[in-house]
Amino acid sequence: MRYQKKELLNYINVVSFAVVEANLYLDTHPNDEAAIEYFNNYQRARNQALREYANAFGPLNLDTAVINREFIWADQSWPWQLEG
Amino acid sequence: MWYYEKRLEFPVKIKTPDASLAQTIITQLGGPDGELGASMRYLSQRYAMPYNNVCGVLTDIGTEELAHMEIVSAIVHQLTRNLSMKEIKESGFDKYYVDHTTGIWPQSAGGEAFTAKFFQSTGDPITDLTEDLAAEQKARTTYDNLLRLIEDPDVREPIKFLRQRELVHFQRFGESLRIVQDHLDSRNFYAFNPAFDKQESGNNMQNRKGNCGCKS
C-alpha cells in the first residue's frame, strides 16, 4: 500500500480541490487546452485514489464503495468529527 | 441530483474548544452573508439563467457552497465539544445552548435565525449576478473580520481557505456577468430581460423598441 489512511485522505483532498478549481475555471474558459489537460490529469488521479481508499479503508462515496457482508458506509466515522 | 462525499473540502481538526469563538463563526453558516444563504442563492437563481455555461457556474459554485456550509458547521461543532456548564455560562454561549444544546442551527452571530430574506432570486440575470458579486465580497469581509478575532491556527486555516474561495468565486461571477452582457445589446444591456422578455434577433437589435417598460 502506497499511503497510510490519513495521507491518502489528504492526497484525495488535494487532487479533488484541483478538480473543483479547474471545473469552475473551465465553466467560463471552456476551450483552454492547458486547463483541460490539468483537469483530466487531476480527475484521473482523484478517481484512482478514491478507489484505492475505498479498497483499503472504506468508501468516501457510494460509487467506489466495495460492499461485502457489512454496509460500512454508515458505520465508519463522519468527516465533521474530530476523529473522522 | 447530488451525491455525498464523506470528507470535508478542507479538513477541520480543532484541538481546543472555544464556545465564544463558535458563536461568532456560526454567522458564516446561517448569517446574512453565510454559506447557507450563498448556496441557496446560486442554486435558486439557476432556473432563470438562459445561458448554459453560466448555469454551470451557478450550479458548481452553489454546490461548493454546500461543502463550505459543512466546513463552517464542523468548525462550530468542534469548538463546542466537551463544554462545562461554567464555560457555557462564562462564554455567553448559554443563550444558544438553552435552545439548541450543542446542536448546529443556522443563525447569525447576533442570534438572528437564517431566513431566505438574506438573498434574492430576481429572475433577471444581470441583477442576480450583480448580487452574487456583492455576496462574495460581503462574505470575504465577514471572514476578514473573523480572522481578526481568531488566534488558534487550527481555526484560522479552514477560515483562510474559505476566505480565499470567496475571491475565486467573485472572479468567476465577474466572468459570468461578462458572458451575459456579451449576449445583450452592447448599447443598452437593460433593453430587455433575456430570461423573461421575448427577444428579437441580434442583428435587428437597433430597431427594437425594447420591453423594459421604459420610454424609448
Contact with chain A for residue B55, Cβ under 8 A: no
Q: Does the residue A69 lie in any domain?
A: yes
Contact with chain A for residue B111, Cβ under 8 A: no
Contact with chain A for residue B2, Cβ under 8 A: no
3-state secondary structure of B130: helix
Q: Does the residue A80 lie in any domain?
A: no
Q: Could you say which of A12, A25, A28 has the minimum Cβ distance to residue B7?
A: A12
B140 to chain A, closest Cα gap in Å: 18
Q: What is the 3-state secondary structure (H, E, C) of B43-89?
A: HHHHHHCCCHHHHHHHHHHHHHHHHHHHHHHHHHHHHCCCCCHHHHH
| Domain count across chain A | 1
Taking only the tens place, the pLDDT of each residue in A22-48 is 999 999 999 999 999 999 999 999 999
A29 vs B56: CA distance, rounded Å: 12
ipTM of this predicted structure: 0.95
Q: If you ran DSSP here, which 8-state letter would residue B215 be given?
A: -
| Chain B from 168 to 197: CB within 8 A of any A CB | 168-169, 172, 175-176, 179
A20 to chain B, closest Cα gap in Å: 8
pLDDT for position B198: 79
Contact with chain B for residue A24, Cβ under 8 A: yes
pLDDT for position B199: 63
Q: Could you say which of A20, A30, A60 has the minimum Cβ distance to residue B6?
A: A60
- Each residue's pLDDT, cut to its tens digit, for chain B (216 residues) gives 999 999 999 999 999 999 999 999 999 999 999 999 999 999 999 999 999 999 999 999 999 999 999 999 999 999 999 999 999 999 999 999 999 999 999 999 999 999 999 999 999 999 999 999 999 999 999 999 999 999 999 999 999 999 999 999 999 999 999 999 999 999 999 999 999 997 654 544 554 555 555 544
A19 vs A26: CA distance, rounded Å: 10
pLDDT for position A2: 63
A10 vs A3: CA distance, rounded Å: 10
Q: Could you say which of A25, A60, A63 has the minimum Cβ distance to residue B7?
A: A60
Contact with chain B for residue A25, Cβ under 8 A: yes
- Answer for the pair A51, A3: CB distance below 8 angstroms, yes or no: no
The band of A83, judged by pLDDT with boundaries at 50, 70 and 90, is confident
Contact with chain B for residue A10, Cβ under 8 A: yes
Q: Scanning every residue of chain B, which has its alpha carbon at the shortest distance from the alpha carbon of A76?
A: B6
Angle between helix axes A5-28 and A33-57 (nearest 10 degrees) is: 150
Q: Could you say which of B56, B64, B81 has the minimum Cβ distance to residue A82?
A: B81
Q: Does the residue A11 lie in any domain?
A: yes
Domain extent at residue A14: 5-75
Q: Does the residue A83 lie in any domain?
A: no
Q: Does the residue A21 lie in any domain?
A: yes
Share the mean pLDDT of chain A. Answer: 94
The band of A67, judged by pLDDT with boundaries at 50, 70 and 90, is confident
Task: Sketch out chain B's domains with CATH numbers.
Answer: 19-183 (1.20.1260.10), 190-216 (no CATH)
Q: Does the residue A23 lie in any domain?
A: yes
Contact with chain B for residue A30, Cβ under 8 A: yes
Cell 420610454 belongs to residue = B215
Q: Does the residue A84 lie in any domain?
A: no
Q: Does the residue A18 lie in any domain?
A: yes
